[in-house]
Structure 1
Amino acid sequence: MTTTILLSIGIVFLAELGDKSQLMALTFALRYRWWVVLGGIATATASVHVISVGVGYFLGVALPTRAIALAAALTFLAVGIWTLREHFTPGDPEAEPAPPRSTRAPYFVVLSAVLLAELGDRTMFATAALATDNNWLGVWIGSTLGMVAADALAIGVGILVGKHLPEHVIGIGAGLLFLYFGTATLLSTALPGLAFAASAAIAVSVPALAGALLLLRRRDTAHPTAADIEVESADARS
């Protein structure tokens, strides 16, 4: 079984390098505490891979991958909008620091997003294929460890980046990345025949447009109009 574990670790680790799960792990690490992200990823990975090594090989054809991908896309978009909204509410620059939040909500955000993203992903089918010729327990342990190790690297990068950037910038960057993930997943699911270049251009344009609109809104908030100044002066005189 040791050989099976090592084989599964190697295959899944290499398959996950540069995959969307690593980018998701990096993005979550910019937003939440690293142990919360790692715990959510480990739980989601173990859940998905236990399906793949158990019945995934037979159930894979019947999995509603389109519906799962659509749910994942909507989850990414919702998380992105929610994150950006937190950092672009009026009065944020002058607001008092918020008290520490519970880790429960971020844990379930990470868990649900990774679970939806990995169901029907190539790693799931690769794990199912490994389980047909190898010990299922060894494949499950090895594939889970391989993916967690790959995502832990991305989390480490996120921690290093986070030390050199303000929290406000990190939150905005994470929100824009989630908009990108959501748009890319939505396009690949709804328009599978769309050319890669066109899909990439549209996926990049959505967070770019959102960022531009947010900058304009922030500029308007920071620089009051002449009408606002006149109203404030009238209030002061009265």
Structure 2
Amino acid sequence: MEAFLVSTSIVALAEIGDKTQLLAFILAAKFRKPWPIVLGILVATLANHAGAGALGSFVTSLVSPEVMRWVLGLSFIGMAIWTLIPDKFEEDDATFARFGVFGTTLIAFFLAEMGDKTQVATVALAAQYQALVAVVMGTTLGMMIANVPAVLLGDRIANRIPVKLVHGIAAAIFAVLGLATLLGAGEGLGL
């Protein structure tokens, strides 16, 4: 349950102001069909984060628990720093209109998530918790918590969210996870 809750909260916070959330705003404004966009986000996120989570789970079988502790601890601290850097959205991320609303959203979101901080967080969380399904479900729910309101409410909420504050909170959570991991938290889990 901890893996699910931590994964959900970290990704929901980290996603505020992220390029994929900006993509959700743009797709909503462009197509004005929220439900195919929401479904596209869900499917793209499940596919992307399942692969990322599987990678995180696999990596733990390749290295010793001591090395993994350092890799994870430093990864979480790196994520804390990365979370404080604003994302830039490229208009090219949403240029798949010939595939319809669902297809455009699916392709654009899947590609936009490649190497994104929430995908990297999913790899690290899956390695940390060794609970692939809980982490993927949590990170996917976190993406949906951040992006569904962006699709449904669009511009009405975009300017009301204190993005710097939310990113600061997410960065603090990543930093605490990193420091806790470096100090030995999770050793009872085989890390």
Deviation per CA, 1:163-213: give whole Å up to 9, x if none: xxxxxxxxxxxxxxxxxxxxxxxxxxxxxxxxxxxxxxxxxxxxxxxxxxx
Q: Which has the higher contact order (CA 8 A, sep 6+)?
A: 2
Distance 1:127 1:145, change over 3 A: same
Query: Is contact 1:56-1:125 (8 Å) kept?
Result: no
Distance in 2 of aligned mates of 1:31 and 1:6? 33
Query: Is contact 1:29-1:159 (8 Å) kept?
Result: no
Candidates 100, 121, 125, aligned match of 1:126 = 121
Gaps of 5+ in 1: 59-71, 84-103, 162-238
- State the partner residue of 2:151: 155
Q: TM-score, normalised by structure 1?
A: 0.48
Gaps of 5+ in 2: 60-88, 158-191
SS of residue in 1 equivalent to 2:115: coil
**Offset, 1:24:** 0.6
**Offset, 1:19:** 0.6
Query: Is contact 1:118-1:124 (8 Å) kept?
Result: yes
The amino acid that maps onto 1:19 is: D
Q: TM-score, normalised by structure 2?
A: 0.59
**Offset, 1:5:** 0.8
- State the partner residue of 2:51: 51
Distance in 2 of aligned mates of 1:75 and 1:19? 16
Moved over 6 A (4+): none
Distance in 2 of aligned mates of 1:133 and 1:76? 31
Query: Is contact 1:53-1:136 (8 Å) kept?
Result: yes
The amino acid that maps onto 2:140 is: T
1:62-101 matched pairs, under 5 angstroms: 75-76=92-93, 78-79=95-96
**Offset, 1:122:** 1.4
**Offset, 1:146:** 0.3
1:141 correspondence with 2:137:
yes
**Offset, 1:35:** 0.4
